């Protein structure tokens, strides 16, 4: 099996499909997609072994990083190219409690 993301002209992921293939490189499934559905397809991996993140609708494909990037969670979040993800400007406390980011006050608040 191989997973492929269809992207539009702006490199935004439209959908992700799984192909049934005996080819370990997934080329057989890729060719079926091209022949039957058209469009632009990029291989993705549910365990993020390639392209940093498993593609999902709304993600952006960055050719330079060769990565699928999720949408930005909050305006204050900063992009980390090493993991191709948006991260908060302040690290989340690691004390075993559940926290939510408060964008207005730029702090982590303990969940009730």
**How many structural domains is the chain composed of?**
1
pLDDT exceeds 60 at position 26 = no
Residue span of the structural domain in which 76 resides:
2-110
Tokens 């593609």, residue located: 55
Pairing of β 2-7 and β 40-44: antiparallel
Report pLDDT digits (tens) over 67-110. 999 999 999 999 999 999 999 999 999 999 999 999 999 999 99
CB under 8 Å to 59, separation ≥6 — which residues? 5, 12, 13, 53, 68, 69, 70, 71
Report pLDDT digits (tens) over 1-15. 889 999 999 999 999
């Amino acid at each position: 099996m191989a997973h492929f993301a269809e992207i539009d002209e702006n490199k935004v992921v439209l959908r992700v499909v799984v192909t049934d293939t005996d080819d370990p490189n997934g080329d057989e499934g890729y060719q079926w997609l091209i022949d039957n559905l058209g469009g632009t397809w990029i291989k993705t991996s549910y365990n993020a072994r390639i392209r940093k993140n498993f593609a999902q609708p709304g993600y952006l494909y960055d050719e330079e990083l060769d990565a699928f990037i999720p949408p930005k969670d909050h305006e204050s979040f900063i992009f980390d190219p090493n993991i191709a993800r948006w991260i908060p400007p302040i690290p989340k406390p690691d004390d075993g409690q559940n926290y939510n980011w408060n964008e207005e006050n730029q702090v982590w608040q303990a969940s009730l």
